[in-house]
Amino acid sequence: MRRTASPQPKPKVQSTTNTFSLLKATAIPKPKPVPKPLVSFVIPTINQVDLVVKCLTSLTAGLSLPAHAFEFVVVDDGSPPPLQEELAKALRPFNGRLLRQKKNTGFAHAVNSGAAVARGRYLCLVNNDLVFPRKPWLAAMLREIEKPGVGVVGARLLYPSGRLQHAGVVYLPRTRRFDHEYRHRPGNYPPALETTEVLGVTGALMLVEKGFWDKLGGMDEQFFLSWEDVDFSLRAWAAGRRVLYTGQAYAVHPEGTTRANRKAASWAFWHKMDRETKARFWRKWGRFFTSGWPDPEAGGKIRFSRLQSAHWCKVLRKKK
């Protein structure tokens, strides 16, 4: 009897559709690109931890922007390594980045280093001893910097007593020096609450468009201790941009604490560097300050005032 082989079962073919669907379902999604911050806060410091934390705490309390819209870049300008490590730990709650300099390089070099790694559309220079109000203040500065032709914006600074410290930089020809306008007047002095063009603003709180900052090459590092902010403001005017002051943004600034303490601020080293940077400034800009120009609010008399900045750019162009 002939036996016939039983038919073998046909192998099942796996559906390619199901396989594709499975792979598609288990595929790892691509991470979304992290948006660049709108503002990068650059904070130079030396020999300080608590002061920086106090500054950042008040700064963040007054920000109305979402967390991804800003970043903190702290530049330690030569503190001892243990103190730098302590500062790094203190910055963690703020998601701040710390740049560690091996030696004291000066304010201009410190902010330039911070600006070089900043990713924001705007740079906001902040002294480490500033204390900000617990209400929105940055919006007023952003409103001005976004206007056509504006390159630099400064803000109202107050002493801890509440008196005015800074409402723009003016030049005093009789004493051949610069000063802050309305210094020591009441903090709510009406003219200081306005927004106006000024000759310059302090680097203690300064907002600059990052692209314009890069175009000017940042702060002039030949100014180790001071005058770099006035120099930057004058270069902004020379480049055809306006420098504005707005009294709608303000902070408290106890002068002298930036250099660690008031005793340190009196060291012979600081006086020596101040003399050198002052001499350099006048070698660079002195020929532009040999005479004033008509002030329309003084009946056409020749003098310097905060209104001189509107004419500053034209003067520079004629001198070239």
What is the pLDDT of the chain when averaged over all its residues?
Answer: 82
Q: For residues 86 and 51, is the Cβ–Cβ distance under 8 A?
A: no
Vertex 27 angle, CA 21 and 28, to 5°:
160
Task: Look at residue 114 in the predicted model and tell me its pLDDT.
Answer: 97
Report the chain's C-alpha Rg in angstroms.
28
Q: What percent of the chain has pLDDT over 90?
A: 55
Q: For residues 161 and 254, is the Cβ–Cβ distance under 8 A?
A: no
Residue bearing the bigger pLDDT, 123 or 17: 123
Tokens representing 165 are 């410290």
CA–CA dist 227, 278 (Å, integer): 7
pLDDT, average across residues 180-204: 94
Hey, which bits of the chain come out as E strands?
39-45, 70-77, 97-101, 122-126, 150-158, 164-166, 169-172, 177-180, 195-197, 205-209, 242-252, 293-294, 302-303
CA–CA dist 55, 50 (Å, integer): 9
How does residue 38 score in pLDDT terms, banded at 50, 70 and 90? very high
Task: Look at residue 216 in the predicted model and tell me its pLDDT.
Answer: 97
Question: Which of 105-119, 214-228, 261-275, 291-305 bottoms out in mean pLDDT, i.e. has the lowest?
Answer: 291-305
CA–CA dist 171, 291 (Å, integer): 11
CA–CA dist 216, 225 (Å, integer): 19
Task: Look at residue 5 in the predicted model and tell me its pLDDT.
Answer: 43
List, in sequence order, every residue forming a beta bridge with 207; answer none if it has no partner: 124, 153
Main-chain dihedrals φ then ψ at residue 57, nearest 5 degrees:
-65, -45
**Who contacts 66 (Cβ-Cβ below 8 Å, separation ≥6)?**
none
In the chain the domains, ranked by start, together with CATH numbers, are: 39-289 (3.90.550.10)
Main-chain dihedrals φ then ψ at residue 290, nearest 5 degrees:
-75, -20
pTM: 0.80
Task: Look at residue 289 in the predicted model and tell me its pLDDT.
Answer: 74
How does residue 30 score in pLDDT terms, banded at 50, 70 and 90? low
Q: For residues 168 and 185, is the Cβ–Cβ distance under 8 A?
A: no
How does residue 262 score in pLDDT terms, banded at 50, 70 and 90? very low
